[in-house]
Amino acid sequence: MCSIAGYYNKNAAYDEYPDYHLPILQSMNQHQKHRGPDADGTVILNRCAMAHTRLSIIDLENGCQPMKKVIAGRTFYIAYNGEIYNTSELRNDLIRQGFTFDTTSDTEVLLTSFIHYGADYISHVNGIFAFAIYDVSEEALYIFRDHFGVKPLYYSYLPDGTLVFASEMKALFQYPAIKPVADKHSMQEIFGLGPSKTPGQGVLKDILEVKPGHYLKADRYGFHSFQYFRLESRPHPDDYKTTIEKTSFLLQDAIRRQTVSDVPICTFLSGGIDSSIVTSVCSRKLNEEGQTLNTFSFDFVDNSKYFKSNSFQPEQDRPYVDKMIEFLHTNHTYLTCEIEELYHMLFTSVISRDLPTMADVDSSLLYFCREVAKYNKVVLTGECADEVFGGYPWFYREDLLNSTTFPWMKDLTPRTALLKQDFAEFLDLPDYVEHLYNELISEINVLPDESEEEKSRRRIGYINIRMFMQTLLDRMDRTSMFSGLEARVPFADYRLIQYVYNIPWKYKYQDGVEKSLLRQASRGLVPDEVLFRKKSPYPKTYHPGYEQLLCKKMQEVLQEPSSPILEFLDTAKTEEFLKSPKDYGKPWYGQLMAGPQMIAYLLQVNYWLEKYQIKTEL
């Protein structure tokens, strides 16, 4: 895993001024060095300049980048961030075509595939990736992002025709012409959608993301975007037994493919069914090779003392972690986080994502990833299973299923309750959110014979994958890569998601059991008492001391006249909110962000505006 950055202009002559461009590229690298601490490189060409930092996972000796390859007199360069899981098939196919390789890296396979087959070959690549390829002869730059946006890729297209790209926004800001500016749209994203965001948007003015399943091409003829993958609605002809068998194969194949590495892998083991399934397959794969899997679980100091059961988080995970360790005999480490560390990492997590985040949901994972990175460089996680297999309440609760907005943030009232009234009216968040919701569901191609109920299920599934899953993938990438830890997400395998997306709900929710299909497809991999437990989300702290830290800091923000968030907050309403008991069981986003997380999120917004010196244009 790595970072990439660079820029392109069809009229440039960058190689004539290396002393000017090299410091820019080096600064872009330095600001993303956490993603690739093992090595870095730059290349300055005529129309294009590229930068790269490397986290060595595959071919530790020979995989340095940007990588150059010359075939039939044509020269190409690649800067690549990701892992390709069907590398051996791609390489063998190219060898049969007469190609030879100087390395064992997936980078060279990816570049050679592009050279031989062209840009559209990307639809045949199975992996997580964000990469740039420059064709010197054609003076053309291509930048690609994986099917579901596991790896980030931001860009800005400047008025002078320059395309600037980077893995993270902080690197974009090292290009002299790009500054962080927040306009009305930015604030609608922050207060109306945050911590999620509109697909393809970078929140800040003129900052965009390459959309998942897309690639961009810039050449002498202009700048264009192409879609190479989208979720398709298809009839599902398989009976229940066949569906279980195919699901089981696709899932286990995805997990086993993602164990490929030249350094030891590990897994997160929460005790939930998703991480337990991933851990079981990984453990068996490593056992075949005579190795023992490292596993890690997370919790908060004194959480057993302060835990409060609610409909979203009915029980604690530790007993189920213990059962899995006994079942698989992994080399397990229990990690715990103090509330003071959780609080301080709130602000570090903003830097990791360049935006306000999922509050302590992000900051805790950031802390835990830092600790795991002391042991391993690669981790497999159970992320995305709920979005794919229908594990959230809004898949089966009628009031949420029939919602005409995003069901994980059905009520916008908490988002506007603490804002100044005129500012809230100016943002018009209900209209903004409704417009995005309608835009996304218009992308769905429903089948002509689907019932209204099946259309609703498809709608929920689609917007979960396009919006909610993307937020969790962003969280997973930034919190892990901030410490140079590569996180892999087998449940986001595009073959698996495409297949499960079209499976009828009656198969996914047999006998009223959430994620029933996943459970049946994983029988034997996990003890039944774990496999059929009630879903429990990622842990959060219930320690009253954490809430006290948040309230104290917010009071300081309110009393400091220079606090940038005061331009938007109603001070009196906020002070009253700080005095009232916080409800932990009524989330305003997802399943975990309730009263305390509202304070934490507002603190992050203030820190973000201040730290990045964001200019506002409202």
Cis preceding-peptide flag for 393 (omega within 30 of 0): no
Structure tokens at 323: 């059962």
CB proximity list for 278: less than 8 A, separation 6 or greater: 255, 267, 380, 381, 382, 490, 491
Is residue 2 helix, strand or coil? strand
Distinct helix (H) and strand (E) counts, the chain = 25, 19
Kindly give, in sequence order, each residue whose CB lies less than 8 Å from that of residue 595, ignoring residues fewer than 6 positions away: 581, 582, 583, 584, 586
Neighbours of 201 (CB within 10 A): 16
The continuous run of DSSP H or E covering 342 comes out as helix 339-353
User: Phi first, then psi: what are they for 332, rounded to 5°?
Assistant: -105, 145
- Residues 391-427 as b or e (16 or more Cβ within 10 Å = b): bbbbbbeeeebebebbbbbeebebbbebbbeebbeeb
| Catalytic residue selected from 2, 48, 369, 384 | 2
How many Cα neighbours within 13 Å face the side chain of 512?
1
Q: How far apart are the first and last CA of the chain?
A: 38
Residues linked to residue 178 through DSSP beta bridges, in sequence order: none
Q: Are 103 and 116 in contact (CB under 8 A)?
A: no
Q: Alpha-carbon torsion 9, 15, 21, 27, what sign?
A: positive
The first and second tokens of residue 97, run together, are 């075509």
Residue 585 CB neighbours (<10 A)? 12
Name the β-bridge partners of 216: 143, 225
Does residue 509 contact residue 303 with C-beta atoms inside 8 Å?
Answer: no
Q: Measure the CA–CA gap between 462 and 242, rounded to whole angstroms.
A: 23
Tell me the β-bridge partners of 145.
130
Is residue 137 within 8 Å of 74, Cβ to Cβ?
A: yes
Helices (H), 97-137: 106-117
Contact 459, 441 (CB under 8 A): yes
Which two tokens mark 311? 């409909």
**CA dihedral (533, 539, 540, 544) positive or negative:** positive
Could you tell me the two tokens for 219?
């050449």
Of 199, 69, 99, the C-alpha closest to 145 is 199
Farthest CA pair distance, the chain: 72
Give the C-alpha separation, 85 to 496, whole Å. Answer: 14
As a whole number of angstroms, the distance between CA 52 and CA 78 comes to 9
Question: What residues have CB less than 8 Å from 503, skipping those under 6 apart?
Answer: 236, 243, 247, 517
Dihedral over alpha carbons 162, 167, 169, 175 (to 10 degrees) = -40
Q: 2 an active-site residue?
A: yes
Catalytic machinery residues: 2
